Each structure stands twice: as structure tokens, then as C-alpha cells.
Amino acid sequence: MRDALEACELAAKRSIGDETPLDFMLAVMRDDSQDMRLRTAMAQAAAPYVHAKPSDAGPKGKKEEAAAASKTAGMGTDWGDDLGAPSSAIN
């Protein structure tokens, strides 16, 4: 793994000054001359910034859909303003 760290240091020295850490990780990941363990580590580190989690992209459950729908319930109707009445108005 020491060779991989040295390769990373060399790649960092050659990198462009305005390169982001994500750009660096992707460049190392795509470099065929790098050790596969290093490329795999870079892929794992970059993945959360490139791909959404399946739970974030997947369909919502009934409770989440109901909560989202309740935020817009009554908008554009005559009684829409009544839904937002503070609970202190009820004695």
C-alpha cells in the first residue's frame, strides 16, 4: 500500500491547481497505471458524491407521502387559510 500512497502523492503534485478533491479521486480511479486497491478505494470514497443512495432515490412510504401532502393541503381553496390556524386559538 506504500506504493499506492507514493503514487497518490505524485498524482497530487501533477494535478491542476483548481482541481477539487472529487476530481482528484475520479482521476486516480480512472488511471489504469495505478494499483487496483488504490483505484477501488478512490471509487468507494467518491461514490457518495456522484451517486444517490438507493433509499434517497426510491419511492416514499405512505407516511412520507401523507406528510408531504399535508404541507400543501388546502392551497388554493377557500378554507386553506384555516388549516394553518395556531393551536392557541382553540380554548
Q: What is the pLDDT along the chain (91 residues), one digit of tens a residue?
A: 566 667 667 666 666 677 888 888 899 999 999 999 999 999 999 998 888 776 655 667 788 888 878 777 777 777 666 666 555 555 5
Among 32, 33, 37, 15, smallest CA distance to 24 is for 15
- 61 CB contacts (<8 Å, ≥6 apart)? none
